[in-house]
Structure 1
């Protein structure tokens, strides 16, 4: 589970995506892959790796050379936790529209769409007719 004060930056996500894809990676591998995608210097990439270690998203094997980095959180867990944190910071009344907009502009497979449809169909009977705004406490005018 991601701690609120340890959110990954967009740049850190780029590093983690490489490591998640490879399963584990040396800094040399990470630098090579990130270098193909960005114009970041090796020192910038190493700084991001250090930040991810300090945030406990990565561990390493302790080797002096060819240090091997391994993620401490699964990619799907990190994605789910980050989405939950983002949604929980929004007005509850507006979340549905935001999700709809994101779905409309995101490339999804047919399997993904069918899965979403099934999930929504299952949720529909128990869903409230409307969702109230939760931006202000009930007694804010007192």
Structure 2
């Protein structure tokens, strides 16, 4: 894979994962009024994502079909790893502190975090 996805490319890529195989027009219409992007903007982003290696483009007559060629889970995992190594200097504690302070964690989330910590204490 090539470079990381931009924030706008994540919007497009998430739709591509959701839809599977789709045309630029289908992605453009799925974005809809949420964003005021022109059709050509969406097409350009799709082509950039192809160059980065996350999508494959298949010609079908005058249409181009775009299909994810990398699993969403892998790309998300790589993005998280990159964030941690770049921004968090590989430290998790500041992230959890920020999440706990910036939003109210419910009991289920707290128990889930405790369970993760307990599982990793033994390692």
Smaller-chain TM-score bracket: 0.7 to 0.9
Tell me which stretches of 4 or more aligned residues in structure 1 moved more than 3 Å. 102-117
Which residue in the other structure is 2:56 paired with?
59
Measured on the aligned residues, the alpha-carbon RMSD in Å equals: 2.6
Normalising by structure 2, we get a TM-score of 0.81
Deviation at 1:36, TM superposition (A): 3.0
Distance in 2 between the 1:46 and 1:107 partners? 39
Change in Cα spacing, 1:91 to 1:112, as seen in structure 2 (3 Å) is: same
Higher helix share: 2
Structure 2: where are the runs of 5+ without partners? none
Q: Deviations over 1:55-84 (max 9, x none)?
A: 111002222333211111111111111000
Of residues 7, 12, 32, the one that matches 1:35 is 32
Partner of 1:91 in structure 2? 89
Q: Which structure features the higher share of strand residues? A: 2
State whether residues 28 and 66 of structure 1, in contact with CA within 8 Å, keep that contact through their aligned partners in structure 2.
no
